Amino acid sequence: MTQLRHDWRLDEVENLFSMPFNDLLFKSHTIHRDNFDPNYVQVSSLLNIKTGACPEDCSYCSQSSKYDTGLEREKLMEVDAVLKQAQEAKDKGATRFCMGAAWRNPTDKSLDKVIPMIQGVKAMGMETCVTLGMLSQQQAFALKEAGLDYYNHNIDTSEENYSNVITTRSFQDRLDTLESVQNADIHVCSGGILGLGEGQTDRASMLRSLANLAQHPDSVPLNLLVPIPGTPFEAIEPPTESEFVRTIAVARIMMPKSVVRLSAGRTEMGEAMQALCFFAGANSIFYGEQLLTTDNPDTDTDQMLFEKLGINRQPLNTH
């Protein structure tokens, strides 16, 4: 039986990162195989329900009002339009539908408009997920009552590197929202982005923060930064392919029962790199041509990749 730990020391995590690559992948794949069918991948779809004009200054984000990225500001989508997209995603094989709004934190009035979207997606038999920024405890309870399954709130990077990326909120603000979500008995979806000027110690620290939560996140999305022209990080140096795969592997070892999602940046990854990520412990992807404002492989491309690798989509969980 897999032992779940919440007491990782930074030096222990750094030692995992420093293992010979083959040894690390053997270890992570063994743990992956002990907890999951290695030939099944869960498929999620992501829709931007409100674009742009976010007051945060996240240095990587096209939706920040602080940077000129050429993104048009758009109002919150109508419920019917959202549900139409959700049905299309389900028809293409997605089992979870995630809705994202560019807010620092939603007002109660805004939340009232999102709740019918959650209820509508839930009624289709899909898992529901939203990412709306920081939440109060009462808002988290309201989302639970609406039937929300997952709340996404990434910690992005290490606590040590955080202020180099974002200054309009603190790392602790992120953790407080995750605590409110867990208190409301909503599944937590939280991970980070590689390519934010961090080093290996930062990646170790980020994963340590996630693994040492009172409960491991149910989903851990790991993103490869897609540099956006007009943002401070438009010319930042990306991690190497082996550094990214190492991070997937260490996440799998530290959070053995969590679903590790290969998220943004897959258009920059070849077949071999994605195959290595699945071997290392990734068992979820985002499906569809758009992730909020960045490109993603189309569903036909992903289906071809799955066929080549002998990977099956996780069937719809109608709970």
Please indicate whether residue 277 is annotated as part of the active site: no
Please indicate whether residue 189 is annotated as part of the active site: yes
Catalytic entry in 96, 98, 203, 246: 98
Centre a 10 Å sphere on the Cβ of residue 97 and count the other Cβ atoms it contains.
Answer: 29
Structure-block tokens of residue 59: 């240095």
CA distances 46 to 102, 186, 222, 292, 294, Å, are: 13, 18, 15, 7, 11
Catalytic entry in 174, 252, 261, 266: 261
Structure-block tokens of residue 191: 């991970």
Structure-block tokens of residue 160: 């040590």
The residue among 33, 40, 27 whose CA lies nearest residue 285 is: 40
What whole-number distance in Å separates Cα of residue 117 and Cα of residue 29?
A: 37
What whole-number distance in Å separates Cα of residue 224 and Cα of residue 192?
A: 9
Contact criterion met (CB below 8 Å) for 28 and 252: yes
In sequence order, which residues have a C-beta less than 8 Å from that of residue 41 and are 6 or more positions away? 278, 282, 283, 284, 285, 306, 311, 312, 313, 314
Catalytic entry in 129, 169, 174, 246: 129
What whole-number distance in Å separates Cα of residue 101 and Cα of residue 236?
A: 26
The residue among 302, 281, 299 whose CA lies nearest residue 289 is: 299
CA distances 290 to 24, 33, 176, 298, Å, are: 32, 30, 29, 8
Q: Name the residues annotated as catalytic.
A: 54, 58, 61, 98, 129, 189, 261
